[in-house]
Amino acid sequence: MANSCLFCGASGAGVLSNEHVIPQWLLEHLGLPADDKLFQGVASSTTDELVQPPRIHSSFNFVQGHVCEECNTGWMSRLEAAAKPILIQLIDGQRTIESLSPEEADIVGKWAVKTAYMHSWTSPLKKPVQLDHLKALLGDKGKPTSCVRVFGMQSDFKKPSAYYQRGHWPRFCKPELKVADEPPAEAYKIGLQFGRLYLLTAFWPDPRSMLTPLKGVHVPILQTGQDPLPDYSKDFPVGDGLIDQLAEFCNWLAVCHP
């Protein structure tokens, strides 16, 4: 991967380009100035305290250098063009997630997955999504791999944009069923927030288990596995921190073991 495209594997002199992790049109739509400062930190899952110095740079310089020019200006550009008008309406609250047609949901879902994966491969957390999941998106007909799902929420916010990745999984199972304390290494949750729009890309590797949304919070956008999903109810506490709403949105997506 060192000098090849994350999606198609192309390599060679002059092949790679810089793909903006957050597209420039979106940064501009969110009203971020050119000298905006993007804060990226890695916090302990037990204390929530930073475990390494934060990375601070302009959002406009948040790029991934392992995307080839052909992918960047080809299928990824076409996906961006198709998703942009839909996303703007969702971000600005001009329409609801529930109003999306199946075709629109597929576009938003693939865009959310692609953007989440770009964050995971570029952030200082250094827990990138498995490479075959990126390769599954390749081309206009590429789709997220099986068992990947995208959920959305529309709510108020304190930052124009935010990113959150953590392996916290509430688990439901029969009392007699033994499950490992730690989730499998392949599982992931990647949360993004742009204005009023919250997006969560999630994957659990065992197809027998079902991702379980919190009722009234997680709205399914893209489902590549069993339908319909079970859900559960609980309070949705939100603190006063800048990204607390995104963190809780991510943390309370659960998994149900049969």
Let me know: does 145 contact 216? Beta carbons within 8 Å: no
Q: What is the pLDDT of residue 95?
A: 96
Q: What is the pLDDT of residue 110?
A: 98
In which band, very low, low, confident or very high, does the pLDDT at 77 lie, cut at 50, 70 and 90?
very high
Q: What is the pLDDT of residue 135?
A: 97
Average pLDDT over residues 128-141: 96
In which band, very low, low, confident or very high, does the pLDDT at 88 lie, cut at 50, 70 and 90?
very high
Burial of residue 251 (number of CB atoms within 10 Å: 0-12, 13-18, 19+): middle
Question: How far is residue 50's CA from residue 81's CA, in Å, rounded to a whole number?
Answer: 37
Question: How far is residue 172's CA from residue 42's CA, in Å, rounded to a whole number?
Answer: 28
Q: What is the pLDDT of residue 238?
A: 76
Question: How far is residue 63's CA from residue 177's CA, in Å, rounded to a whole number?
Answer: 44
Q: What is the pLDDT of residue 36?
A: 75
For 234-248, the pLDDT digits (tens) are 887 777 777 889 989
Share of the chain above pLDDT 90, in %: 55
In which band, very low, low, confident or very high, does the pLDDT at 182 lie, cut at 50, 70 and 90?
confident
For 11-68, the pLDDT digits (tens) are 987 889 888 888 999 999 999 887 776 655 555 555 555 455 656 657 777 788 899 9
The two structure tokens encoding residue 164: 């959150």
Q: What is the pLDDT of residue 226?
A: 57
Let me know: does 166 contact 201? Beta carbons within 8 Å: no
In which band, very low, low, confident or very high, does the pLDDT at 225 lie, cut at 50, 70 and 90?
low
Question: How far is residue 133's CA from residue 114's CA, in Å, rounded to a whole number?
Answer: 10
Q: What is the pLDDT of residue 214?
A: 93
H helices present in 59-101, as ranges: 69-73, 75-91
Find the range with the poorest average confidence among 2-11, 78-87, 105-114, 195-204.
Answer: 2-11
Whole-Å CA distances, 70 to 14, 64, 180: 11, 15, 42
